Amino acid sequence: MPAPPTVKRVGMFGGAFDPPHWAHCELAKTALDQLALDVLHILPTGHAWHKTRVLSSPEHRMAMCRLAFSDLERVRLDDREIHRQGPSYTADTLHELRGEYPGAELFLVLGADQLLAFRSWVRWQEVLDLATLAVANRATNIGADARLDQASETDLSSVDLPFKRLSMPLKNISASAVRARVSQPKSREAALEVLVPEAVASYISQHSLYQTPT
């Protein structure tokens, strides 16, 4: 069915979401507000061509996304990429969204780290033709050892690509940091809720995810 004519601004926010964390939640909220989106599609990656690490099952990642983003209006949890055969490419999803929302303006929501690697994407020129890049900055260090209070932003001044900057507080959190925290001894897991929503932390514990460092 074609989209209602009132849908004029559509966002796409893809990622492994393994697991979804507070920075993902804040970026989704920021994109909805600052881009005045009518709908934001959250798309867990299927076959991630650019990742060497084996991802958690699609069922776990979809369930955690449902918990993480459930309180945001105008969000649509979209499972098309996890059901797609073969590698999952952003250009293909944007082509599909363009067909589903005729005449709507498309936005691709990214973090600074993804923007810096953007020219390595498959068919990145097509992505630029299809959507406006909407980018939120990230701290220079978002690894497992990152301090949550650091204020040093990634330098995007040399990026020779058109993009719209999203303004949001730095969230020095990464999925790798969450996985590292979970794999540590129990005495050091207590503060997992500072990295992920409480419901996601409970899900991780209930299903014994990320017990082995990755």
Is 60 in contact with 30 (CB distance < 8 Å)?
no
pLDDT cut 70: percent of the chain above it: 84
Mean pLDDT calculated for residue range 16-20: 96
Per the CB < 8 A criterion, the answer to whether 108 and 127 are in contact is yes
Cα separation, 111 vs 116, whole angstroms: 9
Q: What does the pLDDT read at residue 187?
A: 41
Q: What is the pLDDT of residue 48?
A: 64
pLDDT at 27: 96
pLDDT for residue 168 is more than 50:
yes
pTM of the model: 0.88
pLDDT level of residue 164 (50, 70, 90 thresholds): very high
Please indicate whether residue 150 or residue 164 has the higher confidence score (pLDDT): 164
pLDDT digits 0-9 by tens, 71-121: 999 999 999 999 998 888 999 999 999 999 999 999 999 999 899 999 999
Residue 25 has pLDDT above 70, yes or no: yes
Percentage of the chain modeled with pLDDT above 90: 65
Average pLDDT over residues 152-176: 86
Tell me, what's the pLDDT at 51?
Answer: 59
pLDDT band at 145 (very low <50, low <70, confident <90, very high): low
**pLDDT given for residue 30 in this prediction:** 97
Token pair 């966002």: residue:
11
Backbone torsions φ then ψ of 78, nearest 5 degrees? -120, 120
Going by C-alpha positions, the residue among 10, 19, 1 that lies closest to residue 37 is 10
- Give the Å distances, CA to CA, from 131 to 76, 80, 87, 94: 18, 18, 20, 8
Q: Which pLDDT value is given to residue 150?
A: 55
Mean pLDDT in the chain? Answer: 87
Task: Tell me the per-residue pLDDT of 28-64, one tens digit each, with 9 for 90 and over.
Answer: 999 999 999 999 999 999 876 555 678 999 999 999 9
In 3D, which of 189, 137, 193 has the Cα closest to residue 163? 137
CB 40 within 8 A of CB 13: yes
